Structure 1
Amino acid sequence: MSPLSRRTLLRTAAATAVAAPAAGLLAAHANAGPDGRSARSSAAGLSLKIANKTGEYDSGSIHVYIVGNDGTRQCRVTPEGELKPVELSDNGPDGYTDYAIPLTGDETPLQLPEMSGRIYVACGEKLKFKAVDGGQGAALAYPAAWVESDPNYGVVHDCAEFTYKSGAMYCNTTMVDMFSVPLAIHLKGAKDQTTGTLKPGARAKVFEQVRAAEGFSGLVIDDKRVIAPGHGIGAGKFAEDHFAAYIDEVWSLYEGKDLKVTTNAGTFTGRVRGGKFAFTGPGEVSFDKPSTKDVLFCDGALAAPNDGVTGPVAAVLGAGFNRTTLVTEAEQPSKDPARFYQGGTPHHYVKAMHEATEDGKAYGFAFDDVAGFASYIEDGAASEMTLTLTPF
């Protein structure tokens, strides 16, 4: 997988309603299996099953949407598994497309063609995707359920992300934007893997934990969803300076001592000089002091270009800020989850997401894959994927 490509996708989705899943998402691994050899052909598509175990919604009231990019254009998948381009003419009389795939029972079989994108699930009502002029062809205005004026604000929905190419599948559940519907992925192929499964009763506990945390309560939207703090800032539901004191503490601490950051490129040594966090090692990189918003979106001063040097260091720094481990550990990344989310201003949103899952893994922020804590799995010879809406 190419984590930086995934982060680019996540930030794009966070920043704009017209979110186009990146055309080369996970391209670094798309043609090779786990051992580096070419994966088997996938002309027939991947067997995909959607399972309804919500206990709250009957299958007739749940709809699925598979949307994304085939490498050259935005597209969507029909109930028959056909990949079709998004067209402006797809908008109906109400101004929105109807790409809904209905569930046919407790487990609905589908075919997933080669593409990168998202599998949305909507409970109770259909989602409204609008085809718009993207400048280089038709694009989709994706749901932005953290915005009250969005037409999908009242719909209970969520999504999983994936790239499927040449028989290889890379996929994850995500809470980077919000959490609403508990989802689990079961991937079969060279291995048998699952991710994203919540503990019994965990959905309600997430809502309770976030609501009870000082400064985070505004992120809980009735019983529909919990929105990520970065989006909360934009909606006036989260303080834009929430992590300012912690950021100041990190900056002050490393004016007088070194921070060691280990990446695939090697180990970097950093210290704050002249207001910048400057690192030397396999390369020279520096970062301006981030804002709370930069930390939450893993962007701005913590932007991670896919350059093999600045990007990996930014990712580790971003993870350290979100996990509040930078003050307590001068060697990063921290790999002991028991030490995460401590101190006076922990990231209660992400903490709640990780505590909710059976394996402790979740995609609570865009750098959550640092040190392997994201709800992500891959298989270079995938044969079947099941996305389960687990009990509420």
Structure 2
Amino acid sequence: MLTRVKVLAATGATALVGGLLALGAPAPAQAAVPDTIPLKVTNNSGRGDPLYIYDLGTSLATGQQGWADANGTFHPWPAGGNPPTPAPDASIPGPAAGQSETIRIPKFSGRIYFSYGQKLVFKLTTGGLVQPAVQNPSDPNRDILFNWSEYTLNDSGLWLNSTQVDMFSAPYAVGVQRADGSVSSTGHLKAGGYSAVFNALRTQPGGWGGLIQTRSDGTVLRALSPGHALETGALPNSVMDDYVNRVWQKYATTTLTVTPFTDQPNTKYYGRVSGNVMNFTNGSGAVVTSFQKPDADSIFGCHKLLDAPNDAVRGPISRTLCAGFNRSTLLVNPDQPDTTTANFYQDAVTNHYARIIHAQMADGKAYAFPFDDVGNHESLVHDSSPQQAYLTLDPLG
């Protein structure tokens, strides 16, 4: 089973680089994954400005944070400072529009950044790498068009995803070539989907157009995730209150049944609300965990009051609740998780950012909030014996 661990976005402090942690049995010896694999980067953006690629993360061989060059050689970050000091230039020149370039990626848990026109600014504190935090208007990367993919490559294989957990920006798709030569890919938008996302946000009542960030020349750069929009004040903190209140009212008299594991259908937990607390019991009636009434930040970030530790009880229940709140399925189905997409985002109070992005994906899959993988609706490719990975940069409109 794959458990996705949310990447903590930098907010002016040190942030851990790492998108995916693959948990499970080691790969068979005959399917050993090499120390590096090729990553083919194809620039279909149609843009004429320079492209820069970065492979940043935590080495699974040494446990150190650092970067990899085009050959897949790992370089640990030097010591940082306070205030933060400039990081070494880890950029790799990317292919021109209409061309491809192949680099190698090592066994990492990390991110592959790409930027158009300008190199990204990375700095180091005494605790490690400071990543871009463009919800902060003074972030030096605020006016750069960039995006990133998340991956883990280890002895059990490759997990590579496209992500909108922090923002929706320059479009791209990811892929993996399997041992039999077949290729699996995800992340492409529908034709016209890039502009359609921004247009839909602009016309969505309630301040959702405030998620969009533009440059002074009018260039649209990105849409922040709603959690970051709460930080900037673009969305009010009360944006999810009406839905939460209705959920709390319903489950004061009705039982919410959570079956968090598809391969363990007999493992069930039962939630009932008492005051501001939802208590979950097991089949014996013992309380196993409790949740305070969540606010919008907890819901959009799947953290704080909906914290999800990597354990066997609270974490799985929390991720199920998180998906139910973001997709607004908790009122229409007392058995969760609800993986019937017809029920997703049907309430007027919902995560409209996630709704709009999923609607414009060619295969319907995205990582629009941290536990969008509940029910396998995430934009992820995985293979235990990857021959090659792919990063395809798509047109912006």
Offset at 1:88? Answer: 3.8
What's 1:159 paired with? 148
Cα deviation per residue 1:38-79 (whole Å; 9 max; x = unaligned)? 563334511111110011345xx1100100001411010112
Match of 2:384 among 367, 380, 383: 380
Q: Is the 8 A contact 2:11 2:133 kept in 1?
A: no
Moved more, 72-81 or 281-290: 281-290
Whole-Å separation in 1 of the counterparts to 2:269 and 2:151: 32
What's 1:268 paired with? 269
Q: Give the counterpart letter for 2:151 in structure 1.
A: F
Q: Give the counterpart letter for 1:127 in structure 2.
A: L
Q: 1:98 to 1:320 in 2, by over 3 A?
A: same
Q: 1:219 to 1:385 in 2, by over 3 A?
A: same
Secondary structure at the aligned position of 1:171 is classed as strand
Q: Is the 8 A contact 1:167 1:382 kept in 2?
A: no
Q: TM-score, length-normalised on structure 2?
A: 0.90
Correspondence 1:3 to 2:21: no
Offset at 1:336? Answer: 1.3
Q: Is the 8 A contact 1:30 1:168 kept in 2?
A: no
Offset at 1:89? Answer: 7.9
What's 1:20 paired with? 16
Cα deviation per residue 1:297-356 (whole Å; 9 max; x = unaligned)? 101111011111111010010100000111111111111112111122121100111011
- CA-based RMSD of the aligned residues comes to 2.2
Moved more, 363-372 or 37-46: 37-46
Q: Give the counterpart letter for 1:374 in structure 2.
A: E
What's 2:217 paired with? none
What's 2:119 paired with? 126
Offset at 1:22? Answer: 4.7
Whole-Å separation in 1 of the counterparts to 2:10 and 2:76: 23
Match of 2:226 among 204, 226, 229: 229
Q: Give the counterpart letter for 2:21 in structure 1.
A: L
Whole-Å separation in 2 of the counterparts to 1:115 and 1:31: 16
Offset at 1:274? Answer: 3.5
Secondary structure at the aligned position of 1:175 is classed as coil
Offset at 1:192? Answer: 2.5
Whole-Å separation in 1 of the counterparts to 2:130 and 2:334: 42
Q: Give the counterpart letter for 1:276 in structure 2.
A: V
Match of 2:159 among 167, 170, 173: 170
Q: Give the counterpart letter for 2:279 in structure 1.
A: A
Whole-Å separation in 2 of the counterparts to 1:272 and 1:325: 17
Once the two structures are superposed, the pairs formed by residues 169-248 of structure 1 within 5 Å of their partners are 169-190=158-179, 192-215=183-206, 216-222=208-214, 223-248=220-245
Q: Is the 8 A contact 2:18 2:151 kept in 1?
A: no
Q: Give the counterpart letter for 2:43 in structure 1.
A: N
Q: 1:39 to 1:195 in 2, by over 3 A?
A: farther
Offset at 1:27? Answer: 4.2
Q: TM-score, length-normalised on structure 1?
A: 0.91
Once the two structures are superposed, the pairs formed by residues 355-366 of structure 1 within 5 Å of their partners are 355-366=359-370
Q: Give the counterpart letter for 1:108 in structure 2.
A: E
Whole-Å separation in 2 of the counterparts to 1:207 and 1:228: 12
Whole-Å separation in 1 of the counterparts to 2:360 and 2:293: 32
**How high is the sequence identity, in percent, across the aligned residues?**
34
Match of 2:26 among 14, 28, 31: 31
Whole-Å separation in 2 of the counterparts to 1:84 and 1:227: 31
Whole-Å separation in 1 of the counterparts to 2:300 and 2:140: 25
Once the two structures are superposed, the pairs formed by residues 272-351 of structure 1 within 5 Å of their partners are 272-281=273-282, 284-351=288-355
Q: Is the 8 A contact 1:195 1:376 kept in 2?
A: yes
Q: Report how many aligned residue pairs link the two structures.
A: 376
Secondary structure at the aligned position of 1:240 is classed as coil
Secondary structure at the aligned position of 2:321 is classed as helix
